[in-house]
Amino acid sequence: MLSKAAVAAIRKRAALAGIGFSWMSMLAFPLAAEDAPKARGGASYELYMQGRHVYEQNCLICHGDRGDGNGEMAKDLPVKPRSFREGFFKFRSTPYDKLPTDNDLRRTITGGLSGTTMGMYKHLGEKDLEATIEYLKSFSRRWRKADNYAAAIEFPAPPAWLADAGARTEHAEKGRVIFSAMCAGCHGPAGDGNGPAAQALKDAWGQSVTPADLRQPHLRCGDGPSDIFRILTTGMSGTPMVSFAGALGVPQRWDVVAYVLSLRPDNLQQPTARNP
């Protein structure tokens, strides 16, 4: 940590050189060099500090003061709070391994992740949300490399046949064949998450990870056809649930969606997508 005098001197030099010094103020805080998001530009120091405050009030208890997922509450939780330091996010609209968009993070933070302790932070105002998202980005170096960014994928609208029960059954039958070949190894033939490969799976955080029971009342990705299509297209970064965008064409992915919907509780077969 630099002394006040040293920070003042750096600021003065920056000002003389005509450099904006919003991130220079970071030098006054006891963060490791890798934490100072100075290379990203864009966000103001005020926004960063506002985000830090919201994070400390709402998120730190699980995600930890260094964003490593080791908050006070973490050790007793069956699904560990995400460490933000590796920069991998499961729920995105971008290709596998790419960073999420701000909207993706907004959806997770306000919508929560069903079946985990990650709650819905709907009470945060728009500015607090924006600030928290900015603050989350300071935890990982991945946010500082242009290569890790990608635009959101443009997802196709759900096919019209989804509304027709008879047609849906036909497509679900095609989807079942694909499911047996490509998904059952992990998710089990019945979609209950007990496939032969299920036991040995680990995620990028070194924790064992269970294939989702696709029959449970609520999936984390959302319960609508578009939500399931999205996860098949993007995969869940940091987990063995990879993208199937290369292996399966768009019509085949919708067939699989129809099959997954057929496994789900009746009342959830035609819900509105969380993010249509």
Residues within the interface to ligand HEC (CB under 6 A)? 58-59, 61-63, 73, 77, 79, 81-82, 89-91, 105, 108-109, 113, 116-118, 121, 132, 182-183, 185-187, 197, 201, 203, 209, 211-212, 214, 219-221, 228, 231-232, 236, 239-241, 244, 256, 260
Least separation in angstroms between CB 199 and ligand HEC? 11
- Exposed/middle/buried for residue 78 (C-beta within 10 Å: 0-12, 13-18, 19+): exposed
CA angle 199, 202, 208 (to 5 degrees): 65
Unique residue bearing structure tokens 């996860």:
231
Give the tokens for residue 108: 């997770």
Least separation in angstroms between CB 6 and ligand HEC? 33
Measured distance CA(33)–CA(56) in Å, rounded:
20
Measured distance CA(153)–CA(51) in Å, rounded:
27
Least separation in angstroms between CB 267 and ligand HEC? 18
Closer to ligand HEC by CB, 101 or 116: give it. Answer: 116
| Residue (of 217, 231, 229) closest to 263 by Cα position | 217
Least separation in angstroms between CB 184 and ligand HEC? 8
| Residue (of 200, 196, 174) closest to 255 by Cα position | 174
Least separation in angstroms between CB 182 and ligand HEC? 4
Closer to ligand HEC by CB, 10 or 148: give it. Answer: 148
Closer to ligand HEC by CB, 163 or 197: give it. Answer: 197
Closer to ligand HEC by CB, 132 or 226: give it. Answer: 132
